[in-house]
């Protein structure tokens, strides 16, 4: 092939790749906006019911985060809550005397969270911002994103952005829903369409994230997995508990590697399931 032909082929390839990237970004942006709009509609329901399963999840989320703080040896960590919604987790963390920055792309959610926190003037070290994680420039001791990763258009990109906001040696935690028959049956069909525990359409089965996918992306982002923990909800007692059953809800905690301390053993999959 002549040099002219090669250059023409390169130009066509570049044009194709640029167009494909543009279409991908546009699709992801559209999906992101759709998710934000979906939760805007649901925003009025926050803080109306102290039996809300998401609110009650604090009973397992807070101990997991405290355990992670001990793992990184930072007794009073600065925490970034990504996708904070109406503030269930962020506010409780602040009541536990943590320093919390909480972000969400929904203005309606941030307004609700801010209004509720105003009941405790001067008592909480809590800052709310209407922002995406990509717009946050600071780093934190711990970054947590709870019940969010199953709603993002690109899991790898989202996890990487969260990981970048963690200081070296700091902690990362996600809670989400596995993609299994059990999660479809109990997490979607029963929870959304029968028992009404969450509004219909909250979750889409194809967007649910298996543990091996999430832990793989976290590891690739420079972290060692600490625990993978099953989270079970009993709709009769309205109580959450931790277990080794990962078939529906689960949590992952991880610690960011210090690059100057890395060795081959850092990349082993020796994390604990509990």
Tell me: the pLDDT tens digits for 164-218? Answer: 999 999 999 999 999 999 988 887 787 777 766 777 777 799 999 999 999 999 9
Tokens describing residue 112: 């609700």
Instruction: Determine the pLDDT at residue 45.
Output: 81
Q: Which domains does the chain have, with CATH numbers?
A: 23-273 (3.40.50.150)
Is a pLDDT exceeding 60 seen at residue 252?
A: yes
Instruction: Tell me the per-residue pLDDT of 64-114, one tens digit each, with 9 for 90 and over.
Output: 999 999 999 999 999 999 999 999 999 999 999 999 999 999 999 999 999
Alpha-carbon span 113 to 153, nearest angstrom: 24
Task: State residue 70 phi and psi, 5-degree precision.
Answer: -70, -35
- Res 195: pLDDT: 67
Tell me which residue of 227, 216, 228, 229 sits closest to 267, measured CA to CA: 216
Question: Of 185, 189, 177, which is closest to residue 150 (Cα–Cα)?
Answer: 177
Interatomic CA distance for residues 88 and 235, integer angstroms: 19
Across the chain, what does the average pLDDT equal? 85
Evaluate if residue 54 carries a pLDDT over 70: yes
First vs last C-alpha separation in the chain? 60
pTM: 0.81
């Amino acid at each position: 092939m002549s040099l002219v032909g090669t250059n023409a082929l390169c130009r066509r390839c570049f044009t194709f790749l640029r167009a494909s990237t543009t279409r991908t970004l546009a699709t992801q942006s559209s999906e992101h906006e759709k998710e934000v709009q979906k939760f805007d509609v649901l925003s009025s329901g926050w803080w109306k019911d102290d039996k809300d399963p998401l609110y009650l999840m604090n009973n397992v989320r807070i101990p997991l985060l405290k355990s992670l703080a001990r793992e990184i040896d930072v007794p009073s960590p600065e925490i970034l809550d990504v996708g904070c919604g109406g503030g269930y987790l962020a506010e409780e963390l602040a009541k536990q005397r943590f320093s919390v920055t909480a972000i969400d792309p929904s203005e309606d959610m941030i307004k609700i969270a801010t209004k509720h926190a105003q009941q405790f003037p001067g008592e909480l070290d809590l800052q709310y911002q209407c922002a995406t994680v990509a717009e946050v420039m600071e780093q934190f001791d711990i970054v947590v994103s709870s019940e969010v990763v199953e709603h993002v258009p690109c899991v790898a990109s989202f996890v990487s952005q969260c990981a970048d906001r963690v200081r070296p040696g700091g902690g990362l935690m996600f809670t989400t829903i596995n993609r299994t028959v059990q999660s479809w049956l109990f997490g979607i069909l029963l929870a959304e369409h029968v028992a009404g525990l969450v509004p219909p359409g909250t979750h889409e089965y194809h967007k649910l994230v298996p543990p091996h996918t999430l832990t793989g992306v976290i590891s690739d982002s420079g972290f060692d997995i600490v625990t993978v923990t099953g989270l079970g909800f009993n709709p009769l007692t309205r109580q959450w508990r931790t277990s080794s059953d990962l078939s529906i809800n689960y949590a992952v905690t991880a610690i960011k590697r210090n690059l100057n301390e890395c060795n081959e053993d850092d990349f082993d999959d020796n994390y604990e399931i509990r």
